Amino acid sequence: MSTLVVFHAHPDDEAIATGGTMAKAAADGHRVVLVVATRGERGEVADGYLEPGEELWQRRVEETHAAAAVLGASRVEFLGYVDSGMAGLPSNDDPASFWQADVEEAARRLAGILQEEGADILTAYDENGVYGHPDHVQVYRIGVRAAELAATPRVYLSTVDKDFIRRSMADALASGVTMPGDLDPVELDIGVAGERITTTVDVVDFLDLKRKAMACHASQISDASFFLAMAPEMFKVAFGQEWYILVGALPGRTHETDIFAGL
């Protein structure tokens, strides 16, 4: 069996982006390790949601451990950086923020975990952080560098097949399926062109666990949120596959259905 380390920016990213892959890997007997760069301090939370004196980061750490247990992760680690907030906010300039982190220093922190675990696979995000969040872009930079330092054999960049999502949303809207927020598939700009995808993991059999893991992050993902309010058929379309780019593979020349293929 192999060891998979998934590297994410904030609590709840793991459930949304790689939850199915994590659950599938654990079910197949692989060791799954979750590393989160920040504790999600800049998230939004409804008034009165937290207990008196409770900080949001405390709740989000608890939520992360609960979600990791659902997905079968054996270990959870936080790198200790501060959530940078969305692009362009003053919080991006906080010296303690992940966006301001020295890439080499942060990569050494992550590489230490990769070496300790003898990781066979690391996941990060694509070079745009899937949708441009500063902390997600840092996950790409630091993840790729850490894998170099630790000589981790395979690195997969978690992303979204933009073409697939746009087609699927357009088809769903045409058939009368409603989506929260009146999303326009043409304006949705996340992920990469389908031709760049090297690996598509079918996680339909693990959607219940993925949805349950999302729900563990209740401070950020309520029952009325975009994710959990989605019609079941649309949830299956949106989250039934998880997409990756294998670092070093030739786009359009590699098409895998399992990140453990070849190990």
pLDDT in tens, 209-228: 999 999 999 999 998 887 88
Higher pLDDT, 211 or 164: 211
pLDDT score recorded for residue 182: 52
pTM metric for this prediction? 0.94
Asked if 190 and 204 count as a contact pair (C-beta separation under 8 A), the reply is no
Separation between Cα atoms, residue 256 and residue 246, nearest integer Å: 9
Separation between Cα atoms, residue 68 and residue 86, nearest integer Å: 24
pLDDT digits (tens, 9 = 90+) for 33-80: 999 999 999 999 989 999 999 999 999 999 999 999 999 999 999 999
Asked if 62 and 69 count as a contact pair (C-beta separation under 8 A), the reply is no
Length of the chain: 263
Residue 262 has pLDDT above 90, yes or no: no
- The DSSP 8-state label assigned to residue 204 in this structure reads G
Residue 181 pLDDT class (50, 70, 90 cuts): low
pLDDT score recorded for residue 235: 87
Q: Does domain 3-162+191-246 have CATH number 3.40.50.10320?
A: yes
pLDDT score recorded for residue 178: 60
Residue 185 has pLDDT above 60, yes or no: no
In this predicted structure, which of 44-48, 114-118, 151-155 has the lowest mean pLDDT? 44-48
Asked if 254 and 198 count as a contact pair (C-beta separation under 8 A), the reply is yes
Kind of pairing, strands 154-159 and 241-246? antiparallel
Higher pLDDT, 167 or 130: 130
